[in-house]
Amino acid sequence: MDIEFFRTLIIKTRKNLQLQNAEIPEGVELDQSRVGRLSRMDAMQGHEMTLEARRRRAVDIKRMDEALIRIENDDFGYCEACGEIIAVGRLEIDPAAQYCVPCANTNEQ
Ligand SMILES: [Zn+2]
């Protein structure tokens, strides 16, 4: 297990997520006098989706933080449910993965 590779990957992923969240404006301007009702609803819906994407990224940032803590504690790469080693291929896709594939499948059912 190349811990340094994953540490770098997690820090990079976390940074990208933060940059993406920083790019999104805080609010949406709703000019009711100029914008029709339907397009105003579009704007609000778009804003909701933006907020949802931002919320998901915030969750991912937190997962990356937790993965970094696991690296510091030498717990990284071990399943939190059964203690088995998590496949490297799985960690390459999601370095913040907390469970091995069998446990993740069980949890999702
Ligand atoms: Zn497991």
Q: What is the pLDDT of residue 44?
A: 87
Backbone angles phi, psi at 75, to 5 degrees: -100, -5
CA of 90 to the centre of ligand 1 (A): 12
Q: Give me the count of residues in the chain.
A: 109
φ and ψ at residue 81, rounded to 5 degrees: -90, -50
Q: What is the CATH number of the domain that holds 103?
A: 1.20.120.910
Identify the domain containing residue 101 by its residue range.
3-108
| Residue 78 per-residue DSSP state | B
Q: Tens digits of per-residue pLDDT, 40-85?
A: 888 888 889 999 999 999 999 999 999 999 999 999 999 999 999 9
100 CA → ligand 1 middle, Å: 4
Of 1-5, 36-40, 43-47, 99-103, least confident by mean pLDDT is 36-40
- Ligand 1 centroid to 80 CA: how many Å? 7
User: Could you give phi then psi for residue 82, rounded to 5 degrees?
Assistant: -115, -10
3-state secondary structure of 94: coil
